[in-house]
A and B are shown apart, each in its own frame.
Chain A
Amino acid sequence: MIVLENVEKTFENVKAVYPLSLTIDKGEIHGIVGTSGAGKSTLIRMMNLLERPDNGTVRVGEQLLTSLSDKELRKARQNIGMIFQQFQLILNRTVAENVEMPLELVGMQKKERAKRIEECLRFVGIYDKKDAYPAQLSGGQKQRVAIARALANNPAVLLCDEPTSSLDPKTTTEVLQVLRHINETLGVTIVIVTHEMDVVKSICKHVSIMKDGQLVDSFEIEPQGLNDAEDHYIEDLKRIAVAKSNG
């Protein structure tokens, strides 16, 4: 679905990504992990050319993004959803109006837009907040709105740049559930960049590991599923507490 070939990127003498190739299969949830500064964010941002590689090619589906004109690239991007760590919702527009934005950009009729907004918001379970402004929502709710917005134009691919890194464990689980649901029911290929191992372990089917701008390993794993993260954390704490009192 996504094929990167020999892509590389340098920022003002700092090599962010050394030449690397990576193929992401259709329908998988692919995790890219690494410490901060490993180049994983740059890598995912190359997949929709938010960052244009200095060399190499990027293919998404049938389209070779690196050879498209500006206009064609804009059109191609409408088929690639993206969500961010800081959500990047338009704060002066309501939840519904945020989801409406990508539909407006493709010139969909008002009536159809309303229908599609409802579908998307119901899908991520936040339809009841449709008239709220982002500032009135919690972090997890904001990310769900961002997901709904990214899905509005029925993309084949969803790029997630640290989607849960500013969320607490409980809302992280909620957001990951939504992502898995999207992958399973809509068949959307998902790429997740994260530094949180738990995220990778719970839902990814394929993992790539980055270090110092290089791809050090890439392999398939068996996703372990989502348990209630909060309980999990309390269990962990208790274990430490017992260990201390025993010691």
Chain B
Amino acid sequence: MDKIIEYQSEIWLSIGQTFVMVGISILAAILVGLPLGTYLYLSRQGNLYENKILFSILDTFVNIVRSFPFLLLVVFLIPFTRYIIGTAIGTMAATVPLSIISIAYYARLVEQSLLDVPKGIIEAAISMGASKAQVIFKFLYVEARSGLIFGLTTATISFISYSTVMGIVGGGGVGDFAIRYGYQRFETELMTFTIIIMIILVQAIQITGTKLSKKLDKRS
């Protein structure tokens, strides 16, 4: 326990950094990933906004981002990060590659959830005279809502996992702390402690997400 108390300010700082990185990733996933995934779904053949060219461009983009080994993506994006944030080092800089992967990852999960909505629902919506926006917000999202939340839960846990390697660009975070203090300084106690924190965090997110998505699912 002594070590933990001794390093408590560093621990708090790293937890804060993890929250910033993961929080911004979630925001990016919702603000950009959700519309992107929705558009991927809608631009498919036979759908509301069918557009073969745009679909294949976006589909390929998502695949490319997701096929990068994540550390390489971080390095690859350094010039871009520097352009956006002004520096490639630090927690804020780390949020750039994290956001990119989050957007691609969640977009795919959103697309999948929307594909699960029976097509007949969309036809019913159109037959009622719904506009395209109404079809999306009043029908598609309502029917897919538990899948969208469950997907965001899964994604969030992946974001936490991705954020643990951001030490490479000085992003900090709990994972970085565990490696630098726990592993490299042979403080097994500190390493175990951080791992326990991570487990609790992931468990809490998964349980909350599963519960919420179940509660919102009235389909059976």
Contacts and interface: CB of A to CB of B under 8 A. Distances in A.
Contacts of A92: 142-143, 145-146, 216-219
Interface string A60-88: 00000000000001111110101010101
Contact of B131 (A50, A74, A80, A90): A74
A106 B128 CA distance: 10
Using C-beta atoms within 8 Å of the partner chain, give the interface range for chain B.
20 to 34
A160 to B, nearest CB: 12
Q: Which of A90, A105, A134 has the most CB of B within 10 A?
A: A90
Nearest to A73: B129
Interface string B112-148: 0000001011011011111100100011001101100
Using C-beta atoms within 8 Å of the partner chain, give the interface range for chain A.
20 to 34
Q: Which of B127, B134, B146 has the most CB of A within 10 A?
A: B127
B127 A90 contact: no
Given A90-B142, A92-B142, A80 B127 contact: yes
B142 A77 contact: no
Q: Which of A80, A91, A102, A159 has the most CB of B within 10 A?
A: A91
A159 B126 CA distance: 14
A105 B125 CA distance: 10
B67 interface: no
B220 interface: yes
B142 A48 contact: no
Q: Which of B121, B145, B146 has the most CB of A within 10 A?
A: B121
Nearest to B121: A88
A77 B127 contact: yes
Contacts of B120: 84, 86, 88
Given A84-B124, A133-B218, A135-B218, A90 B130 contact: no
Given A50-B127, A82-B124, A104 B219 contact: no
A134 B145 CA distance: 16
Sorted from nearest, which 10 A-B pairs have the closest CB atoms? A88-B124, A77-B129, A78-B129, A82-B127, A91-B219, A133-B218, A74-B129, A88-B120, A102-B128, A92-B218
